[in-house]
Structure 1
């Protein structure tokens, strides 16, 4: 990796850590440089402002998440109901670790910057909604298989799932630990099991 590209990558990876630990407003350029082990001159070679760094960090976080979910075991599950439940189970499993490492940078940025730094809020929000749409597509497949006559929308369920996950992160930060967040995702899993009866059960009910 060329040296300039490497230093930019180190700044972005440092930003993922520092923004999630300190928040956007409390983070200084010096904090990111110290975490990355680079000079301020190097920072300003790659980014004009801290805001520009945050927009790029949102993109990098989303790319990491996309790679993680693309290779996750639930992707290979044939049953659409079990695939959706597998996604929620993975999100629960990902809560193991220090809070700054397991919470969502995108949610943190949106909450803090949506009005005072709209470019950051917009970038982070777009990635959150795009992922919600992907989950909504999984929900659509599960609905078609298990509850085709239900009057709720798969898109709405995808966004509800993301709302629960983001809310769980807030509870984790408020309580200083992930126990409450895990409980939220346990409840979410049970809710989905009730909303999407197994195919055999659904067929019996329709008969």
Structure 2
């Protein structure tokens, strides 16, 4: 969901180095194209060490999705979008923050679990489910602010806080796909601008009202 710091083979345990390597390489090459040799070389470990920690490449994929969820949770918990007192301002600040971290190479700002889910949803249900837990778990962190903002603004309708939280992730993951397809990060940032406008429309506010 974010773009964590690149792996550093000289730091941490062999397992951690392999997971950090997986974050970088899978986002750049895809899960199928990433080999055990690629991971071992990047992490500076032997194949024996790989199979000591992971029984298979698929097991590494599940662990990588779980590691991604753990590391990005801390990243987002510390992000500045939590600072505004008003819940709607926090939601809009979240969107602005997601736009702000679309920077660097395409692989660096794209989402590991989104990348893997698209590729292996049918071939590896265990990886798919681990990716789903990460994506839906992150979406759930937005629900309380959305529900409070609905209450504060008297918003009714046939949508829920849960559905809007999931929609934010739909836009973000789709934005990454468009950026890759067009080889242009600006396409992703453009999508986040539209998400901002959509949320303002749902809550019946003009752009200047929430600034």
- TM-score by structure 1 length? 0.90
Tell me by how many angstroms 1:99 deviates: 1.1
CA distance in 1, matches of 2:93, 2:83: 10
**1:185 alignment counterpart:** 192
CA distance in 1, matches of 2:168, 2:127: 23
Say which of 21, 28, 39 aligns to 1:14: 21
Matches within 5 A, 1:29-178: 29-178=36-185
CA distance in 2, matches of 1:171, 1:148: 31
Q: Does 1:26 align with 2:72?
A: no
Q: Which runs of 4+ in 1 moved over 2 A?
A: 147-152
In terms of fraction of residues, the more helix-rich structure is: 1
Gapped runs of 5+ residues in structure 1? Answer: 203-207
Gapped runs of 5+ residues in structure 2? Answer: 1-9
CA contact (8 A) 2:155 2:203 kept: no
Count of aligned pairs: 197
CA distance in 2, matches of 1:151, 1:119: 33
Tell me by how many angstroms 1:138 deviates: 2.2
Tell me how large the CA RMSD over aligned residues is.
1.8
